[in-house]
Amino acid sequence: MKKWHNEPPDWKHQEQTLSVTSGLKTDFWRKTHYGFIRDNGHFYYQEVTGNFRADVKIIGKYEVLYDQAGLMIRENDLTWLKCGIEFVNDVQYASAVVTRDYSDWSVVQLPQNTAYLWLRLERFEGAVEVKYSLDGEQYTMLRLAYLSEAQTLQVGPMCASPEREGFQVVFEDFQITPLIDV
């Protein structure tokens, strides 16, 4: 069963498509030098136990600073990872934030602003590997990070708009596949 952590003001889930319009000044972030904590972004999750792969295609109307959409893996408000596209100074970046009480942020500028991005997360024990693709075929690793040893985590699409409301994003073909231990 899927649930919302901070349900957005406008959303629709139909077959393999989730459409979301963000609320006002939403984000996920903890501490660091920015001096604030935010846990009011939109996250449509299901609980997953064990090792898995999560895939999704993201289509967003990135227009305002820090508009963001992607995937999230979350144990609780202190331990989570979000990744996807983040819009900074009119440029789209493949972005990953790993939070274990404090958030860090790593980005790679995309070759051009794109209408679509595919994301793939693979969780194996305590580690998570983040990959992105511009064509849905060839994936590039963005991040490999330790996250949590918890057996069950929340996983699903996330979006936020720290500087506004009304960011529109569509998630297509979200799926979770169990990974066999090797």
Provide the mean pLDDT of the chain: 97
Domain presence at residue 128: yes
The CATH number assigned to the domain holding 113 equals 2.60.120.200
pLDDT value at position 153? 98
User: Mind giving me the DSSP string for 111-178?
Assistant: SS--SEEEEEEEEETTEEEEEEESSSSS-EEEEEEE----SEEEEEEEEE-TT-S--EEEEEEEEEEE
Mean pLDDT, residues 69-88 taken together:
98
pLDDT value at position 169? 99
pLDDT exceeding 90 applies to what percent of the chain? Answer: 95
pLDDT value at position 9? 97
Domain presence at residue 2: no
Contact, 84 vs 119, CB < 8 A? yes
Domain presence at residue 35: yes
Q: What is the pTM (predicted TM-score) of this model? A: 0.96
pLDDT in tens, 117-163: 999 999 999 999 999 999 999 999 999 999 999 999 999 999 999 99
Domain presence at residue 98: yes
Mean pLDDT, residues 41-53 taken together:
98
- How many structural domains compose the chain? 1
Domain presence at residue 4: no
Domain presence at residue 11: no
Nearest alpha carbon to residue 169 among 96, 112, 87? 87
Residue 30's pLDDT band, with cuts at 50, 70 and 90, is: very high
pLDDT value at position 181? 65
d(CA 140, CA 120): 10
Domain presence at residue 1: no
Q: Give me the domain span that covers residue 149.
A: 17-178
